[in-house]
């Protein structure tokens, strides 16, 4: 059998050969879970797609979370404040003006410099004024010399009159002594002296007495005249001296000086600039008497009253303050509010320093609030975008606001504690009711 070849075997029994060579193989059955392995995945995808489609239906805008400012509603007290921006200003401000005409030759200070009373700020030149000074000095010297010469002449005249009065007195005394001697002789019955001689002596005594009295009167009148003339000349001399002093003051005023201690605020001069008398040159403010001047919107200023407390922020320090004045005028929709600064002021404060002020106008206890959304106004109803729990969908809802501070606003209806909303500007998506956040 082993020696048989295939052909012989095939000839021997065709049927047996086919049974030996053609072996029929029965195929195996493949399990259903292996045949349809993708079915669960397909079902999962379909379900997920359905859920996603259901969740994000009506979502027509995609926003980046990096471009949004989101805040959560919190419970607690709310301090209602009004914010304003402005500058520190001095209560005591002095304008320094030119007392005389001149041309700017030197500028010795700049805005921000600390100066004391008497410091030279600007130097002016005026050649005509210097010539006027020389003329006034010569005029005064000449007038003074004339007064002195006139005074010497009057004193000499007064001395001459006194001499004449003294001589008249001597003549009177001599005649009177002669009369007394003759009277004594005649009383003793001596006939040595004639009656004529005696009477002549009496007349001489009277004559010399009258002359003496007249000389004394001339001395008095001359002195009165001398004093009157002296007063008139002294008045003219004083007038000339005043004119000289006026020119001296004008020359001295060519050096413009600070009148008070403070900080230079303005110095808008140029070398060579011509300055007129009375023209303002600079402004000096006292740094120790500062107030905050802030601009408040007209709609908000109605909530502010004098005496309300405030916080003034200098970007470096916070200063306590109290509202001291509210300007009655409205300029460009704003009102100027003045805040008095309290306590010791920090070193960085100075006039014209930019500041921010928050004025406390009310206090609401036990309420809910959120960071103030853009364009949110107190006691109004508005719409905001509230986020879902996962934070990827924001839906527009209606909210009713109550009181508002600078940064926070009270929520009366529409939101609860923990709700998160978009508080940044929704201008780019405010036409969509639902937005997707990634």
Domain of 417: which CATH number?
2.40.30.170
Q: Tens digits of per-residue pLDDT, 231-250?
A: 888 888 899 999 999 999 99
Q: Tens digits of per-residue pLDDT, 11-33?
A: 545 555 455 445 455 555 556 55
Q: Of 168 and 120, which is predicted with more confidence?
A: 120
Q: Of 169 and 408, which is predicted with more confidence?
A: 408
Range of the domain at 245: 127-252
- Please tell me whether residues 132 and 229 are part of one structural domain: yes
In a domain, 3, yes or no: no
- Please tell me whether residues 298 and 424 are part of one structural domain: yes
The pLDDT value recorded for residue 155 is 82
- Please tell me whether residues 151 and 81 are part of one structural domain: no
The pLDDT value recorded for residue 35 is 57
- Please tell me whether residues 382 and 315 are part of one structural domain: yes
Weakest mean pLDDT among 47-56, 103-112, 139-148, 274-283? 47-56
Could you say which of 229, 252, 275 is where a domain stops? 252
Residue 256 has pLDDT above 80, yes or no: yes
pLDDT band for position 221 (50/70/90)? Answer: confident
In a domain, 142, yes or no: yes
In a domain, 120, yes or no: yes
Q: How many structural domains does the chain have?
A: 3
Weakest mean pLDDT among 173-182, 269-278, 341-350, 366-375? 173-182
Over residues 282-303, mean pLDDT: 89
- As a whole-number percent, the residues of the chain with pLDDT over 90 amount to 43
- Please tell me whether residues 337 and 196 are part of one structural domain: no
- Please tell me whether residues 144 and 248 are part of one structural domain: yes
pTM of the model: 0.54
CA-based nearest residue to 435, from 398, 399, 385 = 385
Over residues 193-215, mean pLDDT: 81
Under 8 Å CB-to-CB from 83, ≥6 apart: which residues?
Answer: 356, 357, 358, 359, 406
Tokens representing 305? Answer: 């009253």
Cα–Cα distance between 167 and 157 in angstroms, integer? Answer: 15
Phi/psi of residue 161, nearest 5 degrees = -65, -40
- As a whole-number percent, the residues of the chain with pLDDT over 70 amount to 85
The listed range with the strongest mean pLDDT (7-21, 188-202, 263-277) is 263-277
Residue 114 has pLDDT above 60, yes or no: yes
In a domain, 70, yes or no: yes
* Residue 334 near residue 321, CB atoms below 8 Å: no
pLDDT band for position 218 (50/70/90)? Answer: confident
Q: Tens digits of per-residue pLDDT, 347-378?
A: 888 888 999 999 998 889 999 999 999 889 88
Cα–Cα distance between 232 and 226 in angstroms, integer? Answer: 10
Cα–Cα distance between 50 and 261 in angstroms, integer? Answer: 80
| CATH assignment of the domain containing 261 | 2.40.50.100
CA-based nearest residue to 395, from 432, 428, 424 = 432
- Please tell me whether residues 85 and 98 are part of one structural domain: no
Tokens representing 180? Answer: 């007394």
The pLDDT value recorded for residue 1 is 43
pLDDT band for position 75 (50/70/90)? Answer: very high
Over residues 289-309, mean pLDDT: 91
Could you say which of 263, 285, 307 is where a domain stops? 285
Over residues 342-348, mean pLDDT: 90
Q: Of 50 and 94, which is predicted with more confidence?
A: 94
Mean residue pLDDT across the chain: 84
- Please tell me whether residues 351 and 387 are part of one structural domain: yes
Cα–Cα distance between 244 and 238 in angstroms, integer? Answer: 10
Over residues 406-410, mean pLDDT: 88
The pLDDT value recorded for residue 39 is 58
Over residues 92-112, mean pLDDT: 91
Tokens representing 44? Answer: 């999962």
In a domain, 117, yes or no: yes
């Amino acid at each position: 059998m082993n020696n048989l070849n295939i052909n012989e075997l095939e000839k021997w029994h065709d049927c047996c050969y086919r049974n030996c060579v053609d072996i029929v193989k029965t195929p195996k059955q493949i399990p259903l879970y292996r045949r349809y392995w993708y079915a669960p995945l397909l079902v999962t995808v379909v379900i997920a797609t359905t859920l996603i489609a259901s969740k994000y239906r009506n979502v027509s805008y995609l926003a980046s979370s990096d471009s949004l400012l989101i805040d959560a509603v919190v419970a607690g007290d709310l301090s209602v404040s009004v914010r304003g921006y402005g500058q520190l200003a001095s209560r005591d401000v002095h304008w320094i003006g030119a007392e005389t005409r001149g041309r700017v030759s030197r500028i010795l200070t700049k805005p921000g410099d600390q100066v004391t009373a008497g410091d030279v700020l600007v130097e002016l030149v005026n050649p005509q004024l210097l010539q006027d000074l020389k003329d006034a000095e010569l005029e005064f010297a000449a007038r003074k010399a004339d007064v002195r010469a006139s005074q010497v002449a009057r004193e000499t005249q007064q001395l001459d009159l006194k001499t004449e009065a003294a001589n008249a007195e001597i003549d009177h005394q001599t005649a009177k002594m002669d009369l007394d001697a003759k009277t004594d002789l005649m009383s003793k019955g001596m006939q040595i002296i004639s009656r004529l001689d005696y009477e002549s002596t009496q007349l001489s005594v009277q004559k010399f007495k009258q002359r003496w009295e007249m000389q004394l009167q001339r001395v008095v009148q001359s002195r009165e005249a001398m004093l009157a003339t002296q007063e008139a000349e002294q008045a003219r001399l004083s007038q000339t001296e005043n004119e000289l002093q006026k020119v001296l003051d004008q020359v001295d005023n060519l050096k413009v000086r600070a009148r008070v201690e403070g900080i230079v605020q303005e110095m808008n001069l140029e070398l060579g600039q011509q300055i007129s008398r009375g023209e303002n040159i600079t402004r000096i403010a006292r740094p120790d008497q500062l107030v905050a001047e802030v601009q408040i919107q007209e709609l908000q200023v109605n909530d502010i009253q004098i005496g309300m407390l405030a916080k003034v922020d200098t970007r470096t320090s916070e200063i306590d303050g109290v509202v001291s004045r509210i300007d009655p005028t409205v300029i460009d929709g704003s009102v100027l509010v003045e805040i008095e600064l309290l306590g010791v002021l920090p070193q960085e404060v100075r006039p014209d320093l930019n500041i921010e002020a928050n004025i406390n106008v009310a206090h609401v206890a036990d309420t809910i609030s959120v960071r103030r959304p853009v364009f949110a106004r107190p006691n109004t109803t508005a719409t905001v975008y509230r986020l879902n729990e996962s934070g990827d969908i924001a839906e527009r809802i209606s909210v009713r606001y109550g009181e508002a501070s600078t940064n926070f606003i009270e929520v009366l209806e529409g939101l609860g504690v923990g709700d998160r909303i978009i508080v940044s500007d929704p201008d780019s998506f405010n036409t969509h009711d639902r937005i997707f956040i990634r």
